[in-house]
Amino acid sequence: MRALQLSQPRQFQWIELPETASPSTGEALVAIRAIGICGTDISGYLGKMPFIEFPRILGHELGVEVLAVGPDVTHLQPGDRCSVEPYLHCGNCHACLQGRTNCCETLAVLGVHCDGGMRERLLLPASKLHPCNTLGYEQLALVETLAIGCHAVNRAEIRPTEDVLIIGAGPIGLTVLEFARLATQHITVLELSAARRAFVTQHYPGVNVVEMLPDEPAAQVVFDATGNPQSMARALRLARFTGRIVYVGITKEPVLLDDPLLHRRELTLLASRNAQAADFPRILSLIQEGRINTQPWITHHTGWENLPSLLEDLIQPGSQAIKGVALLP
């Protein structure tokens, strides 16, 4: 079985893997049909992702076809198209026992902590597959990305009368926007890139898009999707008194916390990590209903053979990339 392995920063190699075993209890064998490329993949490709060790098979945004299922699997059958929930949890730790499997203490994310989907076939827990035969594989590969924003908005518990500020209109910020607009009509997006501001203006009418804001309260709920420590620190100053701040982007750098400001406004600071299983069927339904349109997201397409070139294309200045997807035969 052929696979694409990242052996060191910016260096892929094609390798041969042993064929996967037949699925046993609770498992399913799938063929990879579409692979989405996200910021984590690009950071790993550049050698900047601390959780990725080399060599690694990347790929966690996947649209797959079920080839075979274990004897006890009843919600899947061969031929089903599925999105993949790529968070492999233990089921026994404190977080898992609370139903917060996205925060499992030993969580392994496909393509990050363990080898992922840049291969022809993959054996997975059947519970991590969410079938939807009416959507294409490219759409299914985008579900995990959307789930990040879905979970972040769930964390914020936005009320219809509340105003929202989203800092950063990259792919993760856009996923937050998709779900924030289902909760309220009062949304501002703060983005430095003119191309990204234009994208939001074109595809999200009614959303206020700005290049800068003064350091004063701007919204009741503030999402920071930049992963920039300075921006994350500043997010507190942009939240109204009694407001909520949700960190969606992540940084390994310290974030300066203005404690007097936090206390004076009695702010609530929330982190958002990955997504939960229930988010996936909800997203599939929203795409089917036409309430989420994935088509504008995919700015770069390629085939299996050209997948290494896709990551290089996505990091080029002026690429105006939102999302790249590779289709496998």
Architecture of domain 147-271: 3-Layer(aba) Sandwich (3.40)
> In the chain, what are the domain boundaries?
2-142+294-327, 147-271
What are the tens digits of pLDDT across the range 224-250? 999 999 999 999 999 999 999 999 998
What is the pLDDT at residue 165?
A: 98
C-alpha 61/C-alpha 145 separation (Å) is: 7
What is the pLDDT at residue 223?
A: 98
Mean pLDDT of 15-35: 96
**37 touches 61 (CB < 8 A):** yes
* DSSP secondary structure of 91-122: S-SHHHHTT-GGG-TT-EEBTTTB--SSBSEE
Where residue 281 falls among pLDDT bands split at 50, 70, 90?
very high
What are the tens digits of pLDDT across the range 137-183? 999 999 999 999 999 999 999 999 999 999 999 999 999 999 999 99
What are the tens digits of pLDDT across the range 94-134? 999 999 999 999 999 999 999 999 999 999 999 999 999 99
Q: Which residues of 20-44 are buried (b: 16+ CB within 10 A; e: fewer)?
A: beebeeebbbbebbbbbbbbbbbbb
C-alpha 261/C-alpha 265 separation (Å) is: 6
Neighbours of 186 (CB within 10 A): 20
Handedness of CA 155, 157, 160, 165 (dihedral sign): negative
State the CATH class of domain 2-142+294-327: alpha beta
What pTM was estimated for this model as a whole?
0.95
Where residue 252 falls among pLDDT bands split at 50, 70, 90?
confident
**List of residues 6+ apart from 97 with CB closer than 8 A:** none
